[in-house]
Structure formats: C-alpha cells, structure tokens
Amino acid sequence: MGVTINLHTISALKEIFVRGGIKLRPLRSSDAMRLLEILSDDSSIRDKVTVASRLHTPEDVIKEVKNYHKETGLIRYTLLKEDKPIGIVSLWRDEGYFGTAPQPDDYGFGFFLDPKERGKGLVTNALQCIMDTLVKNLHVNNFVVFCEDSNHESIAVLTKLGFGPTDKTFSEPYKGWLERKYVKPAA
C-alpha cells in the first residue's frame, strides 16, 4: 500500500493538457454560471452524477469549490475547451465508500459533459490523461467508477478505457440511485 498524500500537492495534477485546446484545471467559483447552463441544458445529469445533484445556484458551486479544497483525496476539475467550461471530471481516492474498507491505492472518477460536446471523445481522452498522470506520480492498484446500468453513454466511455463491470452494486448515498462498480487495473 502506498503512502496516502494530499492530491492537491502533486504538481502534475494541478493542470492537465488533454489535447489541442482541451485541458483540465481545478474547479473555480467563476465556472459556476457556465456549469449551471450545462445542467440546465440536460437536467438529467443531476439524476446521474452526485456532485451535479448538489449544484443548483452559483452559491452551490462556490460551496463545492470550498469543500473539495478541504478534502486531500479529491480534486474536481473543470474540463475546458478553448478555456470555456464544458464539464466536470472528479478525481477521488477510495477512502471507503458505501461502507466498504478504504482502498487508498484505488482512484475513481465521476464526470459530466455539455450535451453539445458529447461523442467527441473528450471525457475518454481526459480520463486517460488523468490515469496516465496518476500512474506516473503515484502508486495505483485500480481505477474505479460507479455508474448506473441505464447510463449507456458513460458505460461506452468506460468500455473504451478498458473498465469492466463488477457484480457489485451500491445505492448512491445522497439520492439513492443504484450504481454498479466498474474497475480497471492500473497495470
């Protein structure tokens, strides 16, 4: 088991260039209005993504920014296209979710994307860049994602990245929807 460190202190995780004009940088309060526009364009995102279910006002985004900075095992990234927010990608260390024992060498993701930007491989590329960065900078056993069986777009992303579904399902702790655990070994 590796040493548990503050993800915010790893310089390689502060900004990640994905591909031409696409990058990830930590979520800022100034992203609020654009992210709320995305959630307004596809309100079903709030029914699939835990962090999105909590974002209804600019104040909610500001609160989320403050909260994630306090958590050493969580970074919320804004996915940017030509410096315009088009979604969120969350990176988290498994510190024991759904009543399970912590797996501090496992890292997970959550994400949502502007409906107008889907189908372009942006989330797939962003997650791959984060995984590559993590493997270069930390000890990683597995990458994990929790996803509803009905979320076919996200499952397609996970499949492209080599994630496989497990037989483990969990009730999302805030809204209660049922999510399946997907795993990809790091090696």
Q: Name, in order, each residue with C-beta under 8 angstroms of 53's C-beta and a sequence gap of 6 or more.
A: 46, 47, 174, 175
pLDDT at 48: 86
pTM comes to 0.94
> What pLDDT score was predicted for residue 3?
59
Domains and CATH numbers, the chain: 7-120+129-141 (3.40.630.30)
Report pLDDT for 176.
Answer: 78
In the chain, the amino acid numbered 182 is Y
8 A C-beta contact, residue 135 and residue 85: no
- Residues of the chain falling short of pLDDT 70: 1-3
